[in-house]
Structure 1
């Protein structure tokens, strides 16, 4: 049976029975067809053809951790623009809460049932989406994770905003310089299960083992769940619980903005340093009023752009997700690294000298 006919049959079956059962029973590509290479499910049967024609008319579904989150709005806009340029269609689905893991699962199932050609997913939990994503892959759908990864065998490739090690270590380096390499510090993270946050924090902890940080003490990791009010309250709680706190790292755009809002209007402004990952538009006034000396981020629009282009390259057969493969995205050629990771590049540090050069 041709793949298009098989997909229509599957859709009909899914309407009358459970989605999971339907997709397992008659996926366009069965689980046994998906060949796992190395640590990842790096693509379907056959080899990549870097010279294959870029397919048009594809549909790529974007599933961020949270819709209407300014960071993901910017990232997904980049994806939408890239797909328009490539002659394919963009659609976005997702939960309104950054902690709604079960909601993400249902949206993966929805995209699978709608028979999209590929999906770009920012995973809230490293394992919770795996069953649903594997069902999507077994039905011939290419899966790219971006911003936050799942397990390597649950997607074809991961578009990383930068090296996780670079991000984790540079956050500590930035803050340590600001506090003179001495004092208590805390971390204000997003959700406790967020894959990217936890990976960065692990590298932060490892960086702090360097003897040059012997007088820097990490006293607490707090979680604001990428909610402005919770992050604001967590910042307040950190300072009440640790009155000698000298600095805070918040590797989340929602968290750093909320922390800056609290510090800016409190007695701690200029006394407690804050750095992390933020957008220039969110942080501009806090840099200019002295609340924040420096922070960093990548361009989220470029991240969404690369996720979209990687999804199309996978769906076109130009890459499979295996280490060493290359593909062109715009004017840049990217090489797929270990475990199917595609790195956007090094983060940019923003401060009073350059922040007005950026608008996102």
Structure 2
């Protein structure tokens, strides 16, 4: 049964900085690298390649290949958009046959089963967005052991379970955009809560960890109330946001939506509770899902990247890996119309900086 993970801060909220005591629920335990408060870049030490490698892969340089894309789940706008990008890139390349397939719910066990089935069927490459970075690793390593190329996007696995990860935006960049947007709306001493997918979903856990580090550094008086799980489920996300609104009343000034499902559902909950202008919603979501709330003025900031470009970049990275054009130690890779993308953090390909959708620009996008 789905359950709500609720942690009360109690006396911590009485301190001058609510966020100085312990790790936020939903955050991972990896080191953080918060960006400068004034917008300057943090210095990141160069890392050696830390990805895995396929065992005796066939030489398919320039030859037709078959690739399966197994996202967290299928049937939602976000992964429909990444799938479109994959298909656009495959069509442009001309020698890639790509198929998107996966579970209809964000279930790691089902995702593993889909990947395992495609290993058995035989494919040349696997693209994935992980529901759990550790649990997915064994099946991805199995694919590598069979000579299958493995590239992640959107949500990473442990690095040694894939060759490359296409990162939509660096985690500390997303964190800064999210927290700065919330501080602008609710003030430096406002209280907020978070609606996420699960506490183990890798990209969300990393964003939350970086949000905590950045908030402590640049907005230390903001107060975190709690984080709740919503399983990438629209109804549960709405219910969780509604519960937060009812539970905290006037104390709650903002809700972070950490998924493309949680953010519009939270906005709908705020709208139905007639709290627009009183409870801010800042989150990650596709512009089409957020247009009604942004255009009504209930939501002012939506943080994302172009998921069509993310899928497009992922299939180009896969082709470059198969062709031997992207190897350990590379500093960039050609990605068609996107130009050259940087390699960061050892084995990640960076799509670019996050984009903030507002009432002024959201109408220009259709995905």
Q: The TM-score by the shorter chain falls in which range?
A: 0.7 to 0.9
CA distance in 1, matches of 2:193, 2:214: 14
Written as runs of structure 1 = structure 2, the 5 A alignment for 1:171-210 is: 171-210=178-217
| Matching residue within 28, 45, 50 for 1:39 | 50
CA distance in 2, matches of 1:187, 1:339: 30
Indicate the structure (1 or 2) with the bigger Cα radius of gyration: 1
- Greater mean deviation of Cα atoms: 173-182 or 298-307: 173-182
Residue aligned with 2:204, SS: helix
Residue aligned with 1:253, SS: coil
| Unaligned residue ranges in structure 1 (runs of 5+) | 1-36, 47-51
| Aligned position for 2:99 | 91
| 1:323–1:338 Cα contact (<8 Å) kept | no
Per-residue CA deviation, residues 147-201 of structure 1 (Å, 9 max, x unaligned), is 0000000000000110111011211111011112222111111122100000000
Alpha-carbon distance, 1:38 to partner: 4.3
Residue aligned with 1:97, SS: coil
Q: TM-score, normalised by structure 2?
A: 0.83
Per-residue CA deviation, residues 4-56 of structure 1 (Å, 9 max, x unaligned), is xxxxxxxxxxxxxxxxxxxxxxxxxxxxxxxxx7432156679xxxxx99624
| 2:128–2:153 Cα contact (<8 Å) kept | yes
Q: Which runs of 4+ in 1 moved over 3 A?
A: 42-46
Alpha-carbon distance, 1:117 to partner: 0.7
| Aligned position for 2:38 | none
| Matching residue within 236, 245, 254 for 1:247 | 254
Alpha-carbon distance, 1:276 to partner: 0.7
Alpha-carbon distance, 1:316 to partner: 1.5
CA distance in 1, matches of 2:168, 2:333: 17
| 1:186–1:218 Cα contact (<8 Å) kept | yes
Residue aligned with 2:261, SS: helix
| Unaligned residue ranges in structure 2 (runs of 5+) | 1-47
CA distance in 2, matches of 1:267, 1:93: 39
CA distance in 1, matches of 2:342, 2:181: 29
| Aligned position for 1:215 | 221
CA distance in 1, matches of 2:329, 2:265: 39
2:281 aligned with 1:274: yes
Instruction: Summarize the Cα distance change of 1:57–1:173 in structure 2 as closer, same or farther, 3 Å threshold.
Output: same
| Aligned position for 1:71 | 78
| Matching residue within 327, 330, 340 for 2:336 | 330
CA distance in 2, matches of 1:272, 1:137: 47
2:275 aligned with 1:264: no
CA distance in 2, matches of 1:71, 1:197: 15
2:174 aligned with 1:163: no
- Greater mean deviation of Cα atoms: 146-155 or 233-242: 233-242
CA distance in 2, matches of 1:335, 1:182: 37
Alpha-carbon distance, 1:336 to partner: 2.0
* Higher RCO (C-alpha 8 Å, min separation 6): 2
| Aligned position for 1:34 | none
| Aligned position for 1:130 | 137
| 2:56–2:147 Cα contact (<8 Å) kept | no
CA distance in 1, matches of 2:314, 2:98: 12
CA distance in 2, matches of 1:42, 1:114: 20
Q: TM-score, normalised by structure 1?
A: 0.84
Alpha-carbon distance, 1:299 to partner: 0.3
CA distance in 2, matches of 1:323, 1:220: 41
| Aligned position for 1:112 | 119
| 1:192–1:225 Cα contact (<8 Å) kept | no
CA distance in 2, matches of 1:55, 1:113: 24
| Aligned position for 1:351 | 358
CA distance in 1, matches of 2:274, 2:292: 18
How many residue pairs were aligned? 316
Instruction: Summarize the Cα distance change of 1:61–1:333 in structure 2 as closer, same or farther, 3 Å threshold.
Output: same
Alpha-carbon distance, 1:80 to partner: 1.2
Instruction: Summarize the Cα distance change of 1:80–1:56 in structure 2 as closer, same or farther, 3 Å threshold.
Output: farther
| 2:195–2:257 Cα contact (<8 Å) kept | yes
